[in-house]
A and B are shown apart, each in its own frame.
Chain A
Amino acid sequence: MKDNILEVKRLKIAFRTQAGTLKAVRDISFDLQRGRTLAIVGESGSGKSVTSRAVMGILAGNSIVEGGEIFYDGKDLLRIAEEDMQKIRGDKISMIFQDPLSSLNPIVKIGKQITEAMLLKSKTGRRESARAYKKLLALLRKTAHEANAAQPERIDSLFDTFAAFCTEGTKLEDAYNNASVHAQELAAMIDDFLFKAEKKQNLDVRQTLRDYASRLRRTKDPLLTADCDSDLNALEAELDKAASGAGKATAEKLVPGEIIALLRRTRALLETINTKPRPDFMAIGYARTKHPGETLTPAQAAQALDGEFMSEFLPLLDKAVQFSMGRSISAKKALLPRLREAQKWYASDFARKEGLSRAKSLTKEVESSIDRLEVVKDSAAYAFGSSLTGAIERYFSCKERNPREEARFARQNARRERLIARGRNVTWKVVPANVYDLDDLRGNIITVVERLADRYEADVENAANEDIRARTNALVNALRADSSQMVARLTKRMARERAIKLMEEVGIHEPRQRFYQYPFEFSGGMRQRIVIAIALAADPDILICDEPTTALDVTIQAQILELINRLKAERNFSVIFITHDLGVVANMADDIAVMYAGKIVEYGTADDIFYDPRHPYTWALLSSMPDLDTKEKLEAIPGTPPNMIYPPKGDAFADRNRYAMQIDFEQQPPMFRVSETHTAATWLLHPDAPKVEVPKVITDRIARMRAKEANQEGGAAHAE
């Protein structure tokens, strides 16, 4: 539960239009866990794209966020400044759009568009991780001092040692990175040369070989190439020798075969260098500072670090973490009654000024109660201040605006009726009054406080079961990642090589040539693939796919879905996948949210939705698509989705629902819990509801699917 990377809470979004306010998203909540895929399914106009755009912070100009929060990494994405959003958008959260035409820049070559995010990220990433590293280390040191006041000298000496060998490790890593950059660049250059030679282009062989020899010299690094230095030297000499004999190559005079073979060999050696696992620089740094003059193998170095230093350092950190958590828990405990009281107070009638000042003082206390040594940030606490003041401001501004809006409507309506009474031909319509539900808005304020209070209560209860050592390890890992990110390097040529690899992976042929083409030179399907490559290039935490493969044919679709799944497994990012193709959903999704008319009507794991659907809309969706065994007439959903300017009072699907009951037209169904992971909003799940049979098409299909699975398993067991 703790590993939620993104939390959407009670999100409500509307659009101001000529005809009135269109309620696009009406109170939806979901959590996205790290490394999982959430599929959002529904018809167009059900609000699925709007939700994803809200996460990206790219809602249209006429949108109104009526309430709710989107928590990511200790921030509320709906309330942060545009500058902060820009750091997240495209870098941490990136999106594949439905329409490739409007998401590519027509006057920039596609290669540049793909590498842009990578290069930007590497530049800012270095600076930011240096800052984060320093900050975290200082905070740790401070907390450690507070936790055991008895031995300040020992703590200082341990921290100094740690900082020293980390710096040493970083230096080594920097040198290693430099050499590795040269190796990767040279590999890319040789690829280019071989490609050109194959295409019989003009080449200056002598110059190139000289250049390669000097570059090969620079790839030498004690940590990177220690075991193949002799091979490198031999190749370098060969290259130099070959260079002196070579001239220029043209279409008539091709590059000699032996030189091609030599380059192939060099390339192969570089490949082995480039695919080597990265050593543990922290351990090597430690070995260098503590055991100078000794040559330790990486395993020995790691052992030395663990045995000599970490055995002392980690318990110290444990104490600091424990102390910080204890302090935070006791603060939370003290704060709880205040929060509960505030919850009640905000439910009563209060003045704006008072409400805001109270929010301010509460925020201060909440902020002091946050455990800063937590690696996974508690977003609700971090964003408490902005959420609360935002909700209060919104409540009061709407309270002021409502009577004005009503008066305007009454005035214009009266004028219109006067004109009609006079017998004029009136063609214009009055824009309906845009009145907000004040109770609802006040509810938003209370939810903010209540949610935090609930969370604190849970924290206090679970405090005893926390795994301190896991937290400490997470902290050390964060430090390690930051220090290595500080010296990570990406040159344009490397970025280009990565982009070309990515282009190959998304199925673009001859990427080396296509890299320099403009978007108009690609067909629609190809453009869509480039958009996908761009989104994947930035290595995001969250990837939002808005119908990415709808325009592509099955073979490419399968290929791209495989690519997304593979990268997800490799890089452990999370995916929000929006589509209306249930086959694709079955392939991709871990969890599924079925949306209709701005609400989530059913939520569950993929198995829940496909093997045990409960909502009539899910039934309708499942039975309206033919599969390969469908023979009978399709069951189309009659009618069209409701007009969301006037959302229906009861269940929005009632009008098109064969199983609708009287209550469906009168009252919105709550989310009924079917199982631990599965919820559905339909009155059919109420204990008093009549028993309804699931449509035969679906039960048949489920039976078929189960039979098939049993068959396969039987077959597999048989084969074994």
Chain B
Amino acid sequence: MPNNTNETLLRVEHLCQFFGPVKAVNDVSFDIKRGEVFGLVGESGCGKTTTGRSIIRIYNITSGSIYFKGQRICAGTLSYENAIREARKALRAATSPEEKERLRKTIEENRAAIRSAKHDHKHSDEDYAKGLVAHLEKERDEALAKAGADAVAIRKEYAEKIRIAKKTRLITNIQMIFQDPVASLNPRMTVREIIAEGLIIQGVRDQKYIDEKVYEILELVGLTRDHAGRYPHEFSGGQKQRIGIARSVIMQPDMLIADEPVSALDVSIQAQVINLLGDLRDRLGLTILFIAHDLSVVKYFSDRIGVMYYGEMVELATSDELFAHPLHPYTRSLLSSIPLPDPRTEKKRTRITYNRLAEHDYSVDKPSLREVAPGHFVQCNDAEFARYQAKLKEQA
């Protein structure tokens, strides 16, 4: 496995995404390491797609932070606002001057946090671009100091680079592949235009460079150069999905968010696309957030899997561990309903049903995501925590 360092590429902290009263994602946290495939599963409407979309800022998140390569790219303010509200309430009731002083300080701190969150959310790309430009300028100055005669050529080369760097955004290092290949390609653009669009927006003007790049990517995803001049309707479903993948890979991203990339495809084509994603991951060192509801595919493709239920992460473990020792009752119910290509066991299979209210008693002790075994997190409260640990010990 390439790039198997322990660097955390993406960190999601207490992500909340509310749409009015609907809590689509509620306090979800996880890390994705560089070079790993992180699977996200759950029933439809559990918020897995929303999580993916929040990460690339299709939505403005309500609360929490998302860090990419150590830099905060998304931030929400609701948690700080709530903290201010609480503090104000306490302030009105408070009597001692030290107490009042402390509360005023809290409010001030949270206000600063809101300001910084708003800044990061809005300007993280600019900050990133500024960093790049500064880096390039430094490089240029060093090169200029060394070289004497061809200073003009160097200046010209770096001017172009800096111009592009100014337009570069951090967020383009995360790219998305959509579920429906038909709906996500503009029918009035040729494949060349579709794939090159990202480069053009980034400010690349060199037509020859763009064409070369497009051909290279087309061959990378298993299509040919002749396909560049055609329109999407001339392709089959699997080929359209390949075009969607080419479009995202041309930006040389560090990370791909694949939102149900094979659900809309035919059986025989699904395997082709999964193999392609696997190849790309090996060759380009991609990190992939793989969102799907087909559990056999997720199990096959992912290193770690997070299980979501009604906007919350209920279990998170490596894929082997999750399938071998599922702890949360919802995970067990989910695993029990996977259809397997074996008629004899399949006809005898009993499904476990999950009823949240009947399974847990959270009236007193509220649950949180806790590490039951190394790398194996389950949403539970104290009593359940002890029970799960006992169970794991028994199974081992």
Chain A interface residues toward B at CB < 8 A: 43-44, 523-525, 552-559, 561-562, 580-587, 589, 606-607, 610, 620-622, 624-628, 630-631, 633-637, 640, 701, 705, 708-709, 712
Contacts and interface: CB of A to CB of B under 8 A. Distances in A.
Interface in B280-334: 293-297, 299-301, 323, 333-334
B267 A628 contact: no
B278 interface: yes
Given A555-B333, A633-B275, A586 B340 contact: yes
A607 B343 contact: yes
A177 to B, nearest CB: 36
| Max chain A Cβ within 10 angstroms of own Cβ: one of B343, B349, B354 | B343
A235 to B, nearest CB: 33
A155 to B, nearest CB: 50
Given A586-B346, A640-B238, A628 B296 contact: yes
B342 A586 contact: yes
A546 to B, nearest CB: 15
Nearest to B343: A606
A529 to B, nearest CB: 12
B347 A583 contact: no
A701 B296 CA distance: 14
Interface residues of B: mostly helix, strand, loop or mixed? helix
Contacts of B294: 554
Contacts of B278: 633
B272 interface: yes
B236 A712 contact: no
A47 to B, nearest CB: 14
B40 to A, nearest CB: 13
Contacts of B347: 586-587
B71 interface: no
Nearest to A565: B347
Nearest to A587: B346
Nearest to A632: B300
A635 B275 CA distance: 9
A553 B293 contact: yes
B118 to A, nearest CB: 33
A561 B270 CA distance: 23
Contacts of B268: 43, 620-621, 624, 636-637
B351 interface: yes
Contact of A557 (B42, B266, B339): B339
13 contacts: A43-B267, A523-B44, A558-B337, A584-B339, A586-B347, A607-B344, A624-B270, A625-B267, A625-B271, A634-B274, A637-B271, A705-B344, A712-B348
A628 B323 contact: yes
Contacts of A44: 237, 266
A708 B345 CA distance: 8
A582 B341 contact: yes
B386 interface: no
B45 interface: yes
B338 interface: yes
Given A625-B296, A626-B299, A583 B266 contact: no
B43 interface: yes
B267 A627 contact: no
B44 A552 contact: yes
Nearest to A605: B343
Contacts of A583: 296, 338-341, 346
Contacts of A584: 339
B338 A624 contact: no
A607 B343 CA distance: 7
Contact of B334 (A43, A554, A585): A554
A712 B342 CA distance: 14
Interface residues of A: mostly helix, strand, loop or mixed? helix
B122 to A, nearest CB: 33
A553 B46 CA distance: 11
A610 B343 contact: yes
A558 B44 CA distance: 14
Interface in B322-380: 323, 333-334, 336-349, 351, 354
Given A553-B43, A630-B300, A636-B275, A586 B341 contact: yes
A553 B339 contact: no
B299 A628 contact: yes
A624 B340 contact: no
B176 to A, nearest CB: 20
B44 A586 contact: no
Contacts of B301: 626
A534 B44 CA distance: 22
Contacts of A582: 267, 341
B275 A558 contact: no
B342 A624 contact: no
B338 A586 contact: no
A621 B44 CA distance: 27
Given A44-B237, A586-B343, A587-B349, 11 more contacts: A523-B44, A525-B44, A586-B341, A586-B346, A610-B342, A622-B341, A625-B271, A625-B296, A628-B323, A631-B300, A633-B278
A553 B298 CA distance: 13
A626 B344 contact: no
Nearest to B273: A636
Contact of B337 (A525, A554, A581, A701): A554
Contacts of B43: 553-556
A621 B271 CA distance: 10
Given A586-B339, A630-B300, A712 B345 contact: yes
B47 to A, nearest CB: 13
A524 B345 CA distance: 31
Contact of B296 (A607, A627, A708): A627
Contacts of B266: 43-44, 580
A626 B297 contact: yes
A626 B334 contact: no
Contact of A624 (B45, B271, B337): B271
B188 to A, nearest CB: 20
Contact of A627 (B236, B341, B343): B341
Contact of A553 (B44, B272, B349): B44
Contacts of B295: 554, 628
Contacts of A712: 345, 348
Contacts of A625: 267, 270-271, 296, 341
Contact of B343 (A589, A628, A637): A589
Contacts of A622: 341
Contacts of A705: 342, 344-345
A627 B297 CA distance: 7
A136 to B, nearest CB: 39
A669 B237 CA distance: 29
A640 B242 CA distance: 14
Given A43-B266, A558-B351, A634-B274, A610 B341 contact: yes
Contacts of B270: 624-625
Nearest to A550: B263
B48 to A, nearest CB: 10
Contacts of B343: 586-587, 589, 606-607, 610
Contacts of A552: 44
Nearest to B279: A633
A586 B347 CA distance: 8
A525 B46 CA distance: 13
A133 to B, nearest CB: 39
Contacts of B339: 554, 557-558, 561, 581, 583-584, 586-587
Interface string B244-268: 0000000000000000000000111
Contacts of B346: 583, 586-587
Contacts of A585: 341
Contacts of B351: 558-559, 562
B291 to A, nearest CB: 12
A449 to B, nearest CB: 39
A624 B293 contact: no
Given A523-B44, A554-B338, A621 B274 contact: no
